Chains A and B, each alone.
Chain A
Amino acid sequence: MLNVIDPGLLTTVQDLGRLRWYHIGMPPAGALDNFAFRVGNLLVGNSEGAAGLEMTYTGPQLELTTETLIAVTGAEVTLQINNQPAILWRAHRVVPGDCIGLGSVRRGARAYLCIAGGVDVPERLGSRSTYMLGRFGGLDGRKLEANDQLQLGSPAVSFEKMLGRTFDPALIPTLSKEMTVRVVIGMCSHRVTAASLREFLNATWEVSTEADRIGYRLKGPTFEFKSGEQPFGAGADPSNVVDLGYPIGSIQIPGGLEAIVLLNDAVTGGGYTTIGTVIKSDLDLIAQASPGCQIHFNEVGIEQALQARRDREARLSLIRMELGIFDQAGALGQ
């Protein structure tokens, strides 16, 4: 059991997300920094999809009533076990009564606590992820509160086998206040002028204070739309289109006044012009961006996007190998 003494600013149960329900308006939810979360699970001997905790900006204080392994990955944050500092991206053994404390993030935005066996809340539509706007999944569809108690699943492998296993720290992503994310331009991008699209790619975008699991609002130049009559049913504003589906990572420009990148708790569709989509592997970077961070968009083609995807999986494979894990499900080699 995991007891919540202090929940921190915003801590939720997440796994790899709820797929196949976008068509009813249910976004996947799931850990925003997919890479950090999967590594966290690998470190404690879980399958990559076991549920853990995502904490935002300020972490929780927790007490464990079970002997287990934990690992914290993602943002740079102070981790203490019984007030003793412990290092990130490494498995630690904890025994009943141990207190785990996470401080405020120094770099990045979201840290992940993975526990051997995973957090055992009921699966809903195939996932344990919390989707707060829809009051769905996780613990009663909400963020954690003081005095909450979370059940833990049974660990897949013995603690002794996982303890002490490490990987090359060069494989840990570096966090920065300034980042370049790759984007595939398209969808309704033909509705804005070529000059406006160029400016979008050349500009420095600043993360606003309205940046959460649904989406990140970015401040930068305004957009100009090509002139022409609005299609029937689209709405009067030139940034309106007949409502369509929004991919996770898509960039919309309501009113042409700002750019919003949708993340895992996205609204699944609507009537704003979308000009492109951030590639899957770079959504991890946005997950670690906080208000004031600067973002540059770099246009890539579909083959480059697919290559970036393979590169990220290759890095994960390397980590699995160094940890002595030889299959995707996290089964342990000798």
Chain B
Amino acid sequence: MSDTRYHYGGDEYLLVIFSEAMDLAINFKLLSICHEIKHRQVSGVIEACPANASYLVHFRPEEVHPDQLIRTLKDIENEIQHANTLQSRLVDIPVLFDDPWTKECAQRFADRHQDPSVSNLEYLMRVNGYSSKQEFISAYCDRPFWISMVGFVPGTAWCYRMCPPDQAIQAPKYIRPRTDTPERAVAHGGVFLCIYPVRGPGGYQMIGMSAVPVYDPEEHLPDLRGRYILANAGDRWKFRPIDMDEYNDIRSQVEAGSYRYHIVEQDFRPSEYIRDPSSYLKRLQKEAVG
């Protein structure tokens, strides 16, 4: 029997929780289940929204009783014992690490931080036992991050480093959240990295600036036309360190509306990843470049 718990979220939502802990294998499976719900056009369902270790279903109780819907969702769960092959895009995210804007922001909110005497990046290095900045930045860039959930505000993606839990880089959140964060700040909280789609409050430790936007309400960029956001749950983002010159160059392309994202579409086989994460990732990387 599964440990999955089905909860009513009032009269229009169901919250299905697979695990209280973050687990990539569980995320692969629930993404497969959400795809299946969409594919089957389950009666009364408006949409299924995958999250890290759970998913939320929005439905019309006039069309399906929540208990009937729970039975249908349990049937789907039983049929999908193992995650299916997922369509997963590998996306290049150029980042200026240790940038001046997030450092300035950190200084403005120094009173809310654990150790305002150092930058957020230096603080995370210490907490995670790194002494070289170069090495620490490489750790963020040497392997892709899995988009396990999209939400909060449009385009926010929870990015989970594709490594065994004991090798996870972890980040305590700010003691009290900031009331401001620059748009496109790359930040780390708990086991997740995120890029802030819009300027706003936040409690993650800021380590850099993405040169490319993750939310485009005005549809300036051809790759985001009609879709508004960059992230899909199940995509992989590969962060790439860039210098100020390249940052400025990409920014002008974005502002001119001519920037094209570097995206490679791939089939992702969860079973192969689970069997041997490192070599499977290497194989996918080779395939993407080749």
Task: Write the residues of chain A forming the contact surface with B, with a CB cutoff of 8 angstroms.
Answer: 19-26, 125, 133-136, 141, 183-184, 186-187, 231-236, 240-250, 267-271, 276-280, 302, 305-306, 308-309
Chain B residues near A233 (CB-CB < 8 A):
21-22, 52-53, 190-192
Partner of A232, one of B54, B165, B228: B165
Complex CA gap A136/B66 in Å reads 31
Q: Give residues of chain B (140-157) contacting chain A, Cβ–Cβ below 8 Å.
A: 149-156
Beyond known contacts A134-B215, A236-B172: 5 more, CB 8 A cutoff: A21-B47, A25-B153, A184-B10, A247-B9, A271-B190
CB closest residue in chain A, given B226: A125
Chain B residues near A24 (CB-CB < 8 A):
150-151, 154-155, 228-229, 231
Closest 7 pairs (CB-CB, A-B): A233-B22, A245-B56, A277-B10, A247-B9, A269-B151, A247-B13, A231-B21
With contact pairs A279-B11, A302-B11 given, residues A20 and B52 touching in the complex (Cβ less than 8 Å): no
Q: How many whole Å from A255's CB to the nearest CB in chain B?
A: 10
Partner of A278, one of B8, B10, B47: B10
Assess the B7–A187 pair: CB atoms within 8 A. yes
Assess the B11–A309 pair: CB atoms within 8 A. yes
B179-208 vs A, CB cutoff 8 Å, 1 = contact: the mask equals 000000000011110000110100000000
Assess the B15–A187 pair: CB atoms within 8 A. yes
Complex CA gap A114/B89 in Å reads 44
B8-45 vs A, CB cutoff 8 Å, 1 = contact: the mask equals 11111101010111110000000000000000000000
With contact pairs A244-B53, A277-B13, A280-B11 given, residues A268 and B152 touching in the complex (Cβ less than 8 Å): yes
Complex CA gap A243/B56 in Å reads 12
Assess the A249–B10 pair: CB atoms within 8 A. yes
Chain B residues near A302 (CB-CB < 8 A):
8, 11, 66-67
Chain A residues near B51 (CB-CB < 8 A):
243-245, 269
With contact pairs A22-B49, A136-B154 given, residues A245 and B55 touching in the complex (Cβ less than 8 Å): yes
Chain A residues near B52 (CB-CB < 8 A):
233, 242-244
Q: Is B233 an interface residue (CB 8 A)?
A: yes
Assess the A247–B56 pair: CB atoms within 8 A. yes
Most buried by B among A183, A240, A242: A242
Partner of B15, one of A21, A247, A249: A247
B203-223 vs A, CB cutoff 8 Å, 1 = contact: the mask equals 000000000000101000000
Complex CA gap A26/B155 in Å reads 8
Pairs A–B under 8 Å by Cβ, sample size 18: A23-B233, A24-B154, A135-B217, A186-B8, A186-B15, A234-B21, A234-B22, A235-B189, A242-B20, A247-B12, A248-B12, A249-B10, A268-B49, A277-B10, A279-B11, A280-B11, A305-B8, A306-B65
Chain A residues near B11 (CB-CB < 8 A):
184, 279-280, 302, 305-306, 308-309
Assess the B192–A243 pair: CB atoms within 8 A. yes
Q: How many whole Å from A38's CB to the nearest CB in chain B?
A: 15
Complex CA gap A309/B59 in Å reads 14
Complex CA gap A3/B67 in Å reads 49
Chain A residues near B47 (CB-CB < 8 A):
19-23
Chain A residues near B288 (CB-CB < 8 A):
none
Partner of A20, one of B46, B173, B191: B46
With contact pairs A24-B229, A25-B156, A234-B20 given, residues A186 and B49 touching in the complex (Cβ less than 8 Å): no
Q: How many whole Å from B64's CB to the nearest CB in chain A?
A: 11
Chain A residues near B55 (CB-CB < 8 A):
245
Chain A residues near B190 (CB-CB < 8 A):
233-235, 240, 271
Q: Is B158 an interface residue (CB 8 A)?
A: yes
Chain B residues near A249 (CB-CB < 8 A):
9-10
Complex CA gap A26/B149 in Å reads 13
Complex CA gap A247/B22 in Å reads 20
Assess the A22–B228 pair: CB atoms within 8 A. no
